Amino acid sequence: MPKALPKMVESAKEWAMLLNIRILNNDLYRSEYAKVLVGMNHDIQLTIINLLNEIIADNPKRFERTANEVLSQLQGVHKNK
């Protein structure tokens, strides 16, 4: 799924958000998703970062903690480069 996200966000953003919300709601999926995203290219990571930030903005009380778990993994990668 991560490789398809940039195009998906362009043509089916609501579906991309829904899939990411479902991933955020599951501890195992969220952890595995973060691991996969670390290996993705910079453009895909930026797409995910923007999407997760939008999800947080839409419902911070519900998603801030879980989205930030994934974001912290990605931001750690960018700090090390």
pTM (predicted TM-score): 0.87
- Short-list 57, 77, 80, CA closest to 67: 57
Structure tokens at 60: 């911070």
Residue type (1 letter), 41: N
Dist. CA 67–CA 77, nearest whole Å: 16
Q: Where are the domains of the chain?
A: 13-80
Dist. CA 39–CA 42, nearest whole Å: 9
4-53 residue pLDDT tens: 888 889 999 999 999 999 999 999 999 999 999 999 999 999 999 999 99
